[in-house]
Amino acid sequence: MSRLDQAVRRSPVTALLGPRQCGKTTLARLFADGRGAAYFDLEAQSDRNRLQNPELVLASRQGLVVLDEVQAMPELFNVLRVQVDRPENEARFLILGSASPEIVRGVSESLAGRVEFVELSGFDLIETGTDRWERLWLRGGFPRAFLAASEEDSVAWREGFLRTFLERDIPQLGITIPAPAMRRFWTMLGHLHGQTWNASALGRAMGLSDKTVRGYLDILTGTFMVRQLQPWHENLRKRQVKAPKVYLRDSGLLHTLLGLPDRDVLWGHPSVGASWEGFAIEQVLTALPAAEPYFLATHGGAELDLLLFHRGGRYGVEVKFNEAPKVTRSMRTAFVDLHLDHLWVIYPGDHTYAVEEGITCLPLKRGVPLPIAPAPSEEGDGT
């Protein structure tokens, strides 16, 4: 809520973005409550009718104006640009959307320099409490999936979400891809969760071109279903991997696509380590939205799951699904070559302990957000 308040105060237009059903509307209504805000739900025909003449309706508004699911009326972006550029404008606009600016044409172009983006995901460990980490990992962060009365109800909701997303949400963005083809691609992507992207291999498996599967990936990325973690390139005198790693952002949807309905099935599945890795990375990045994330992989075998640039420092994260993780040669190499300020090994245990100088094993439930100290320049010297 504080991030949203700061953004609305700073910018004439604030875009609250995130996947469907993650709580954007609930947050926006709570934020608007008591502020005398005008609220328009652009999926409701009655509100769309109210905006048949948007120039006239919005020009008379003062205070906060909320436009929910704005991608349903992309023609509003030019109207907003004209409105916020007027010297007499006294309105602040909060627009909500379930697709990134790259998917919804016109956001970045029409509102460049006028809009601030705030991304909202589902529940995270800070919100649910760290003692419920297993439930959050298994069910994912969508509120209705996490809060369902039983595992069966959670699975049923996630299945319904997948169908609705493929059959309704994707077509509403003007994307014409058969739902079965996208479901098949999404499922295959789940089996490659945490691996380096290889368009040729996936395209051959589906009988599609590299360009087509790349397009499918970009759609799922732009609708906040997939995270593409980019590789870090530096002069390390080693041949480095240049393709991104691909993660399904919500662990619950991953488990549904892979047919993993409960804890026992998940823990016995070959993908349990990859699932844990993606879950841990997503929790870290949600808690550190300002950090610049990358991964490192060289053809010689040196790897680092997560490289973070934050407050002028360099930090590494390695994720292990192991009760007693050990420092590997690859970790030591990454620590030295990347000049890391600290490296954390995140694992599903209970105790925090240093294994070597600058390298600490950290339970996920105690390590979100990471204990990153402010850079020296930010601590202040009393002047």
> How confident is the model at residue 36, as a pLDDT?
86
> How confident is the model at residue 307, as a pLDDT?
96
The number of helices, as runs of H, and strands, as runs of E, in the chain is 19, 14
> How confident is the model at residue 383, as a pLDDT?
34
* Full-model pTM: 0.91
> How confident is the model at residue 221, as a pLDDT?
95
| pLDDT averages per 10-residue partition of the chain, 383 residues | 91 93 94 91 92 89 92 87 90 91 70 89 94 96 97 98 94 88 96 96 94 95 96 71 94 98 96 98 93 86 89 95 92 91 95 94 89 52 39
DSSP class of 131: G
Q: Give phi and psi for 305, each to the nearest 5.
A: -65, -35
Alpha helices, DSSP H, located in the chain: 2-10, 24-32, 45-50, 54-59, 76-85, 107-110, 125-128, 133-139, 143-146, 151-164, 170-172, 179-191, 199-206, 210-222, 251-257, 263-267, 272-287, 329-337, 376-379
> How confident is the model at residue 174, as a pLDDT?
81
> How confident is the model at residue 339, as a pLDDT?
92
Confirm if 13 and 95 have CB atoms less than 8 A apart: yes
Burial string for 90-108 (b: 16+ CB within 10 Å, else e) reads ebbbbbbbbbbbebbebbe
CATH number of 2-119: 3.40.50.300
> How confident is the model at residue 375, as a pLDDT?
43
Amino acid letter for position 202: L
DSSP class of 132: G
* CA distance to 139, 256, 259, per residue, from 156 (Å): 11, 9, 12
Q: Would you kindly state where each structural domain of the chain is located, as residue ranges?
A: 2-119, 127-366
Based on its alpha-carbon atoms, the radius of gyration of the chain, rounded to whole angstroms, reads 22
Q: At 193, is the secondary structure helix, strand, or coil?
A: coil
Confirm if 255 and 145 have CB atoms less than 8 A apart: no
